Chain A
Amino acid sequence: GQNIDQPTEMTATEGAIVQINCTYQTSGFNGLFWYQQHAGEAPTFLSYNVLDGLEEKGRFSSFLSRSKGYSYLLLKELQMKDSASYLCAGLDSNYQLIWGAGTKLIIKP
């Protein structure tokens, strides 16, 4: 079956760094997406990885290892506004997104 696993909740301190992990099992693989969703709002696109390695975009970076079925989202210099849920999703061989349940990130002052 297809599955995306990520931690349910994480807590971090303002100004610190946090890494949110995601492991995936999909039928075929056409890339991995990360989205941010604030409470009561729509998910917004953060990153897309299809090749192994690290993609950096400002304070946010995303890493992919296809051989390990593993990705992580790295958030640096955390701000209070980064408190949100982070959704990991894998694109399968039918070009459908398989979603994780999301990781709720709580930022403390």
Chain B
Amino acid sequence: ETGVTQTPRHLVMGMTNKKSLKCEQHLGHNAMYWYKQSAKKPLELMFVYNFKEQTENNSVPSRFSPECPNSSHLFLHLHTLQPEDSALYLCASSQGTSGGPTDTQYFGPGTRLTVL
């Protein structure tokens, strides 16, 4: 039982489409994350929000746009993606971001994205 939900679970989109991924955490955490997971590669951190403020943006292309309206919700808006953006997109949350076990991240089930 993760306490982090993501929708949709699967998404197929064309390169000219605009779509959004949604993440919601029910754990009362203060930090939320977006990751990209490609086969046989390490998880790639994309964005970090702490108390609704974006604290990290790891050189992610502008075709990915995050939004964090409150500490429980996180969106990833997608626009004019490329086929190489096809991957599993994972959302996670943690209680804090200042070291120690409170930094333990809890993950949602992910959105499997395919860009045609």
B98: which of A43, A89, A95 is its contact (CB, 8 Å)?
A95
Q: How many A-B residue pairs have CB under 8 A?
A: 54
Encode contact with B along A67-105: 1 for CB under 8 Å, 0 otherwise. 000000000000000000001010100011111111000
Interface residue range, chain A: 20 to 34
Q: A31-B99, A95-B98 are in contact. Are A43 and B107 (CB under 8 A)?
A: yes
User: Do B97 and A95 touch (CB < 8 A)?
Assistant: yes
A4: which of B42, B103, B109 is its contact (CB, 8 Å)?
B42
Q: A42-B2, A100-B42 are in contact. Are A95 and B110 (CB under 8 A)?
A: no
Interface size on B, residues (CB 8 A): 23
List the A residue with the shortest CB-CB distance to B40: A101
**Residues of chain A whose beta carbon lies under 8 Å from any beta carbon of chain B:** 4, 8, 30-31, 33, 41-45, 48, 50, 87, 89, 91, 95-102
Can you list 14 contacts pairing A with B, beta carbon distance less than 8 Å? A30-B99, A33-B104, A33-B105, A42-B90, A42-B108, A43-B107, A45-B104, A48-B104, A50-B100, A95-B98, A95-B99, A96-B45, A96-B48, A101-B40
